[in-house]
Amino acid sequence: MTKNQHVLNWINEMAAMTQPDKIVWIDGSEEQAEQLRAEACSTGEMIKLNQELLPNCYLHRTAINDVARVEGRTFICTSKKEDAGNINNWMAPAEAYSKLSKLYTGAMKGRTMYVIPYSMGIVNSDFAKYGIELTDSIYVVLNMLIMTRVGTNVLEALGDSPDFIKGLHAKADIDEENRYIVHFPEDNTIWSVNSGYGGNVLLGKKCFALRIASYLGRKEGWMAEHMLILGLEYPDGDIKYIGAAFPSACGKTNLAMLIPPEIYKSKGYKVWCVGDDIAWLRVGSDGRLWAVNPENGFFGVAPGTNEKSNPNALATTKRDTIFTNVVHNLENNTVWWEGLDNNPPANAIDWKGQKWDYTKYNKSDKSTCGAHPNSRFTAKAINCPCISKEFNNPAGVPISAIVFGGRRAKTAPLVYQSKNWQHGTFVGSIMASETTAAAAGAVGVVRRDPMAMRPFVGYDMGDYFAHWLEMGKKIPNPPKIFNVNWFRLDNEGHFIWPGFGDNMRVLMWILDRCADKVGAVETPIGYVPNAEDINIEGLDLTIDTIRELLSVDVEAWKEDVSNIHEFYNLVGDRVPAELKEELAALEARLGLI
């Protein structure tokens, strides 16, 4: 398929180590994909679902010990430890290569090695970067065919160049003790072994489009961020674009596909999805920041997705979709998950492959769930009813606002605006969120997650903050930066804000601020809206509730500040002086110094 010696030599070397029985090149054709689906079904790797109700849809169950990203086993292997920083796990490259080579040796014996040439971004566009993933998993091939742009045209675009990301994945024994997701940013290389799950193995996604890309972006003067991109269309046809960074399982897919509440919809407002997880951002010749979504599909959280919360996502999953770790409904050979509807199937298999008795389901005990809390759908972007007409535009879209957010039960108000780019970078750097099921480990623990990138920055976090500040200087007309929190709880533990489609009400305030159309109140942390400026028409809540949601709890912030100090200390020496000054200014405004 190619004469590129860099590609061929590398594949030969990897094949000599992993020793597959055969090597198959993935050409991106539907015929080949269909053969692979049939093969995966014949071995039980995938289950073909009801083709009338869910055409071209399949179910896959991962191993029970392999259901989420494993941050503890994810490494950044730069030659100098300090370049990976204190937040990342680090291993010396030579040690990592030697350790993993042992795990890979003979790992593909009796198996097939698939060669997947893929592009992140539109092939031949200025934003595009190419990768080749070698894998022994058909499931990975079929997911990559949805999530990225795969095919022979990628090899043509690459030509004789050595400039591609080399990804090697082997399932090996799915042994947790020997699971490694290892990045060599200096070598454009990613090695993943002993997993078959999502972000650990679809190497175009978190490994390349965030960890390696963030490293390249710093070198080349652009940014790779864990952001959705949406376009909000006004009744006159004008569309403004927003990039929003929330940690894993904190609402990116939902916000990216939101359906406006009736009060806006009836006037002709619309929301278009450009991307739901990753944005690559560059300064345009017009002085604005432009974004593309480098992916080609969605790897979305299934539980909680329903006709009311996210009808667009649900519609997207009705064809050409791979479901992972959801309930198999044997009544009609379809799928189900918690929060889909109130009709759990009586005759069903749970995500572990066991007969599932929904009557034993207890909301507060996750072990009784039929679908894993981090179960997912892999669906094509072009099947999304609200996909933006700019989705395939190689130039991307101009960003008016950047929005940070996380799950905070108390501290963060519904929305606030930073004073400028530098303060906005500070606001991003102090983001915190309660942990979710998207990564292995305890759920619901508050941790600092700067720009929602804690698990995804491919270099030192302090240098990453500095890169944000540097980029601000290069954007003559930068987006305004905001922070939101849909997850504030009342004393009984209920969400106060309705969320989902109603988040549009907050986006409207954000875009009004960008257009200088509305005032705000200055608080110690930034500008919050006047409660009257959040439109609550048609909502079952009062302006007093909005006041409560917008209130800044100074005592809680004083406590938070000491935690921010601890976090900055952990990040270490490279936290830029400007951000320390911003922290001191915040302390002064809170009356702490």
Binding mask 63-102 for ligand GTP (x = CB under 6 A): ----------------------------------------
CA distance 361 to 336: 14
Nearer to ligand GTP, 276 or 463 (CB): 276
CA distance 70 to 557: 31
In the list 85, 131, 198, 251, the residue contacting ligand SPV (rule: CB under 6 A) is: 198
| Tokens read off for 347 | 């005759």
Binding mask 560-579 for ligand GTP (x = CB under 6 A): --------------------
- Strands 289-292 and 279-283 come out as antiparallel
Check: CB of residue 478 under 8 Å from CB of residue 470.
no
Shortest CB 16 distance to Mn ion, Å: 35
**Catalytic residue chosen out of the listed positions 250, 369, 384, 386:** 250
Listed ranges 10-18, 180-188, 300-308, 398-406: which one lies at the site for ligand GTP (CB under 6 A): 300-308
Check: CB of residue 326 under 8 Å from CB of residue 350.
no
Q: Applying CB under 6 A, what is the total number of residues that bind ligand GTP?
A: 22
Residue nearest to ligand SPV (CB): 199
DSSP secondary structure string for all residues of 262-307: HHHHTTT-EEEEEESS-EEEEE-TTSSEEEE---SEEEEE-TT--T
Could you tell which of ligand GTP, Mn ion, ligand SPV, none binds residue 276, using a CB distance below 5 to 8 A set by kind? ligand GTP
Q: Which residues contact 576 (CB under 8 A, 6 or more apart)?
A: 462, 465, 466, 469
From the CA atom positions of the chain, what is the Rg in Å? 23
Owner of token pair 């009586």: 346
Summarize as ranges the residues that interact with Mn ion (CB under 5 A): 248, 277
577's enclosing H/E stretch is helix 577-589
User: Does 299 help bind ligand SPV (rule: CB under 6 A)?
Assistant: yes
Nearer to ligand SPV, 127 or 197 (CB): 197
Q: Applying CB under 6 A, what is the total number of residues that bind ligand SPV?
A: 9
CB atoms under 10 Å from CB of 125, counted, come to 17
Nearer to ligand SPV, 117 or 199 (CB): 199
Is 250 in the active site?
yes
Shortest CB 277 distance to Mn ion, Å: 4
Nearer to ligand GTP, 71 or 470 (CB): 71
Residue nearest to Mn ion (CB): 277
Shortest CB 374 distance to ligand SPV, Å: 8
> Could you say which residues in the range 271-290 bind ligand GTP, by CB under 6 A?
276-277
Listed ranges 124-132, 141-149, 175-183, 297-305: which one lies at the site for ligand GTP (CB under 6 A): 297-305
Could you tell which of ligand SPV, ligand GTP, Mn ion, none binds residue 140, using a CB distance below 5 to 8 A set by kind? none
| Tokens read off for 143 | 């997911």
Check: CB of residue 203 under 8 Å from CB of residue 192.
yes
CA distance 303 to 42: 28
Distances (CA, A) of 339 to 256, 307, 327, 361, 379: 19, 10, 12, 12, 19
DSSP E strand boundaries for 185-338: 189-193, 223-225, 227-233, 239-245, 270-275, 279-283, 289-292, 297-301, 322-324, 327-329, 334-336
Handedness of CA 12, 456, 375, 51 (dihedral sign): negative
Nearer to Mn ion, 155 or 203 (CB): 203
In the list 67, 103, 250, 322, the residue contacting ligand GTP (rule: CB under 6 A) is: 250
Handedness of CA 275, 248, 575, 563 (dihedral sign): positive
Could you tell which of ligand SPV, ligand GTP, Mn ion, none binds residue 408, using a CB distance below 5 to 8 A set by kind? none
Could you tell which of ligand SPV, Mn ion, ligand GTP, none binds residue 304, using a CB distance below 5 to 8 A set by kind? ligand GTP
> Could you say which residues in the range 396-455 bind ligand GTP, by CB under 6 A?
438
In the list 206, 282, 328, 480, the residue contacting ligand SPV (rule: CB under 6 A) is: 206
User: Does 69 help bind ligand SPV (rule: CB under 6 A)?
Assistant: yes
Work out the angle at residue 254's Cα, subtended by the Cα atoms of residues 253 and 258, and round it to the nearest 5 degrees. Answer: 120
Just list the catalytic residues.
250
Residues near ligand GTP (CB under 6 A)? 246, 248-254, 276-277, 300-301, 303-304, 309, 438, 486-487, 495, 499-500, 503
Residues near ligand SPV (CB under 6 A)? 69, 198-199, 205-206, 248, 277, 299, 438
